[in-house]
Amino acid sequence: MQKLEFLLLLFLATFPITFSITDGLLPNGNFELGPKPSQLKGKVVTARDAIPEWTISGFVEYIRSGHKQGDMMVIVPEGDSAVRLGNEASIMQKVKLVKGMYYSITFSAGRTCAQDEKINVSVTPTSEKRNWGVFPIQTVHSSHGWDFYACGFKADHPEVEIVIHNTGGDEHPACGPVIDSVALAVLNHSKRTNGNLLKNGDFEDGPYVFPNTNCGVLIPPNMDDPHSPLPGWIVESLKSVKYLDSDHFSVPKGKRAIEFVAGKESAIAQIVRTQTGKIYDLSFAVGDANNACEGSMTVEAFVGTETVKVSYDSKGKGGFTRGRLRFKAVSSRTRITFFSSFYSMKIDGSLCGPVLDDVKLLSVRYLRHP
């Protein structure tokens, strides 16, 4: 045996777990493999392990595209099949992870009834105070009736169970969200550098974005959640921000950016270590995603009592401008917050807004052109 091969085998034998996950769809994460006909009663799944790779609990329907509920067409987000969770129903999958690492879960969900529907995504077992998040599936941000959502967690165990649970509380058996396309990705949590005192200021580190869809990923408010799917950042206030990729949208820098799709109702913030009395420069890019979101847009940045408004006139075809705020730190921790002053809407009625990217914070000492 060659020395290199031997070392590789030794490495594989020592760290087998390292090879257990790659970014992307979970096994049968899009539910294309379904139950045997004997495990279905109409659309209802009758055995706990009938859907390959998944375990179910409660009233779960296996939906094929073209399925009607009364007069309404139930939308399957991707491929031919999806599942619909009745009240208090769950789907679960065990995954092998690297203990101590951070992950994000991306999934698509659509609602079927007018009522608010809520999904609780949790990861067990955990030694964290909290390893779950609730997603309200209410305002549909896209025109096609479903959206992608993302959350983040830290793996406390080498094997965890991902549970997607409908906590909606709507007793009507025909109500309950449709779930499809469940994916996992490793979050890097790269360190801050002297080139940028902010973590993940360019939003490159974030949840999995499906390469074949052009609708972005909603990141819901995660104020109480210790593990954001967007490392470094907290989505504040009531509504989600949207995570965009450069394959389908125009982004000012790199491959990823965020779009404020809910006006003042969504904000993102980061808390940074600062030295009291020191001068800092905050700079950022504001633009549009080349997604037909037109009109005048304004992004506000807040640092303590200082604020700056950056206006941008969007033609809906991509492009950006830059904003800057110089401030003096008044404490050892400074909160930097961004939001959009206005709502914007596309002609099809879906919500949209300005894009934020390339957020940098420098201590003035490091500036080449002070």
Ligand X SMILES: *[C@@H]1O[C@H](CO)[C@@H](O)[C@H](O)[C@H]1NC(C)=O
Binding residues for ligand X (CB under 6 A): 120, 122, 132, 134, 167, 188, 190, 204-205
CA atoms within 13 A on the CB side of 118: 10
Rounded to a whole number of angstroms, the minimum distance from the CB of residue 148 to ligand X is 17
What's the number of CA atoms in the CB half-sphere (13 Å) around residue 229? 30
How wide is the angle at C-alpha 108 spanned by C-alphas 102 and 114, nearest 5°? 130
126 phi/psi in degrees, rounded to 5: -150, 155
State both tokens at 63. Answer: 């939906």
Helix (H, G, I), strand (E, B) or coil at 286: strand
Q: Is 42 exposed, middle or buried (0-12, 13-18, 19+ CB in 10 A)?
A: exposed
Which of 120/363 has CB closer to ligand X? 120
Q: How far is the CB of 75 from ligand X (least distance, A)?
A: 25
Least separation in angstroms between CB 120 and ligand X:
4
Phi, psi of 135, rounded to the nearest 5 degrees:
-110, 115
Of 63 and 155, which CB lies nearer to ligand X in the complex structure?
A: 155
Q: In whole angstroms, what is the distance from residue 251 CA to residue 290 CA?
A: 9
Please, which residue, 168 or 323, has the CB nearer to ligand X? 168
CB of 4 to ligand X, least distance (A): 22
Sign, CA dihedral 190-194-195-198, equals positive
Residue nearer to ligand X on the CB measure, 228 or 334: 228
Tell me whether residue 87 or residue 167 sits nearer to ligand X (CB atom).
167
Residue number with CB closer to ligand X (204 or 300)? 204
Least distance to ligand X from the beta carbon of 186, Å? 7
The least CB distance from residue 243 to ligand X, in Å, is: 12
Which one, 122 or 340, has the nearer CB to ligand X? Answer: 122
Residue 324, beta-bridge partner list: 283
Contacts of 13 (CB under 8 A, 6+ apart): none
Q: How far is the CB of 124 from ligand X (least distance, A)?
A: 6
Q: Give, for 11, the enclosing helix (H) or strand (E).
A: helix 3-14
Cβ closest to ligand X, residue 188 vs residue 311: 188
C-beta of 321: minimal distance to ligand X in Å? 25
Scored b (16 or more CB within 10 A) or e, 231-250 reads: bbbbbbbebbbbbbbbebbb
